[in-house]
């Protein structure tokens, strides 16, 4: 019978004081400064590539269970290649590797980043081990919108750009920094121009492009709107799917702002406390399943929304209400259907040019893969990973974080009999 030579690392043995390896008596001495065992949740087995299937079949025959299909991986900071299979058995899970390049030695050398606390130091260490040039890989880094908000926004953005450069992400098709917005369709709203400092397609507002840079000419963000209302600079407020007392930070400022406003118009699907107390006019809004239009996934895929259920009672489409209000104010938007509203959006955003609802279809379209993607505005001069990275101390009170809520802190959860138990009652996170 042919003998299969293996080296085994047991997940239960890998702790802060022990690194197990059948092939050497000196591993503990050479890896004592690296405690990486906690990342393993399976027993790791290393065999010659030609023996991988024989061993995994033997494990299944001995213990029962199933195994995954073989795949080729690179699991080290430096270039490597290994065949790999999972084996799932009643006695535990086995990760079986058949390295075609030298087996990482000591086994701490295959750490995958779980222990990294200083990214710059980790990159230097990897390069010192031979990773001078990171191979092109389709790496995607997910980051929350909150990271680039508040007093540490610049430091957060700088850190993201440094990570991208360190992972050799620029220029690699499929790699990138993918933001997870605070609210649904956050990317789509920005690209449509729902911003205080940019128009459709992230272009400069017309007034700013003409030479004016004042806040009043380019728009106001949420806090500036609240400050303007509280100071009497603004009189009317239109709330589209928003209750500032519930959704936004600076609760006390918004209390003063709403009390000072002469007219508050709300467009909402739920009668929340702030809207009930302060709104003078309330338009019933569509629920998600009643909407028609488009939404943009965080990766840039434009997807089509079709109504799944009919709108009840006096509920009208949002484009319809906004169009009628604009007409009352002397502005004819020339929108008579949801399809016309979508067509106007596609015409207004340069990198959506030529897009149609038919092209979007049921699968959606990533606008970056279309010819019009070249119209996306370039990054401003000076944007790089070389900016300031000093963190600012947070404020002593909780006012600045009051608007950040649990994912379950939503009217859809609070007013749903089957989900209400998930609703966090006045809990800061």
User: pLDDT, tens digit, for every residue of 15-41?
Assistant: 333 233 333 333 334 343 443 444 456
Compute the average pLDDT of residues 195-222: 71
User: According to the model, what pLDDT value does residue 151 have?
Assistant: 79
Q: What is the mean pLDDT of residues 3-24?
A: 39
- Which pLDDT band holds residue 131 (cuts at 50, 70, 90)? low
Task: For residue 151, count other CB atoms closer than 10 A to its CB.
Answer: 12
- Please give the pLDDT value at position 418: 85
- pLDDT at residue 204 in the model: 84
Average pLDDT value for the chain = 80
Model confidence pLDDT, tens digit, residues 242-264: 999 988 888 899 999 999 999 99
Residue-level pLDDT at 294: 96
pLDDT beyond 80 at 321: yes
What is the model's pLDDT at position 387? 64
Supply the pLDDT for residue 371. 95
Residue 194 has pLDDT above 70, yes or no: yes
pLDDT of 126: 73
CA distance 240 to 285: 9
Report pTM: 0.65
Yes or no: say if 196 and 204 are a contact pair by the CB < 8 Å rule: no
pLDDT of residue 40: 54
pLDDT tens track for 137-186: 788 999 988 888 777 888 888 889 888 888 888 888 888 899 988 888 99
pLDDT greater at residue 14 or residue 233:
233
Report CA-CA distances (Å) from 208 to 12, 87, 189. 62, 61, 20
For the segment 85-96, the average pLDDT, to the nearest whole number, is 88
Question: pLDDT per residue over 31-81, tens digit each?
Answer: 434 434 444 567 888 888 889 999 999 999 988 999 998 888 887 766 788
In this prediction, residues 122-146 reach a mean pLDDT of 76
CATH (residue range 200-205+216-375): 3.40.50.740
* Distance separating alpha carbons of residues 54 and 279, to the nearest angstrom: 71
Strand positions, DSSP E, 349-403: 365-366
Location of structure tokens 């279809």: 361
Instruction: Decide which of 211 and 266 is more confident.
Output: 266
pLDDT given at position 29? 41
Q: What is the pLDDT of residue 219?
A: 85
pLDDT confidence band for 280 (50 / 70 / 90): very high
Where would I find the H helices in 178-285? 186-191, 206-209, 215-218, 222-230, 244-247, 251-260, 273-278
Whether the bond into 79 is cis, omega within 30 of 0: no
């Amino acid at each position: 019978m042919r003998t299969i030579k293996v080296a085994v690392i047991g997940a239960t043995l890998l702790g802060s004081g022990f690194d197990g390896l059948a092939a050497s008596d000196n591993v503990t001495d050479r890896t004592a400064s690296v405690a990486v065992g906690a990342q393993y949740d399976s027993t790791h087995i290393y065999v010659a590539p030609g023996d991988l299937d024989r061993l995994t079949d033997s494990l299944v025959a001995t213990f029962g269970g199933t195994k995954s299909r073989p795949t080729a991986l690179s699991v080290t900071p430096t270039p490597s290649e290994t065949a790999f299979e999972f084996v799932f058995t009643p006695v535990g899970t086995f990760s079986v590797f058949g390295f075609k390049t030298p087996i990482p030695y000591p086994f701490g050398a295959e750490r995958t980043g779980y222990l990294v606390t200083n990214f710059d130091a980790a990159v230097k260490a990897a390069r010192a081990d031979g990773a001078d040039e990171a191979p092109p890989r389709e790496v995607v880094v997910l980051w929350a919108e909150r990271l680039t908000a508040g007093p540490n926004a610049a430091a957060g953005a700088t850190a993201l750009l440094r990570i991208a450069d360190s992972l050799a992400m620029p220029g690699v098709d499929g790699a990138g920094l993918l933001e997870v917005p605070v609210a649904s369709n956050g990317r789509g709203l920005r690209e449509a121009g729902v911003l205080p400092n940019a128009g459709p397609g992230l272009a400069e507002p017309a007034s700013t492009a003409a030479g004016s840079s004042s806040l009043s000419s380019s728009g106001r963000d949420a806090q500036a709107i609240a400050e303007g209302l509280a100071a009497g600079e603004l009189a009317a407020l239109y709330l589209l799917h928003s209750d500032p007392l519930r959704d936004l930070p600076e609760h006390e400022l918004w209390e003063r702002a709403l009390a000072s406003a002469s007219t508050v118009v709300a467009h909402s699907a739920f009668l929340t406390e702030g809207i009930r107390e302060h709104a003078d006019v309330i338009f019933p809004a569509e629920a998600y399943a009643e909407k028609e239009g488009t939404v943009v996934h965080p990766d840039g895929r434009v997807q089509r929304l079709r109504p799944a259920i009919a709108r009840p009672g006096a509920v009208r489409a949002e484009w319809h209400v906004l169009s009628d209000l604009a007409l009352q104010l002397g502005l004819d938007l020339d929108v008579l259907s949801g399809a016309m509203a979508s067509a106007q959006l596609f015409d207004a955003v340069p990198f959506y040019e030529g897009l149609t609802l038919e092209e979007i279809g049921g699968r959606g379209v990533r606008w970056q893969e279309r010819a019009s993607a070249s119209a996306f505005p370039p990054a401003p001069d000076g944007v790089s990973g070389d900016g300031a990275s000093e963190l600012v101390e947070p404020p002593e009170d909780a006012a600045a974080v009051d608007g950040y809520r649990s994912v379950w802190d939503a009217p859809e959860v609070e007013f749903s009999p089957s989900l209400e138990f998930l609703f966090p009652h006045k809990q800061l996170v």
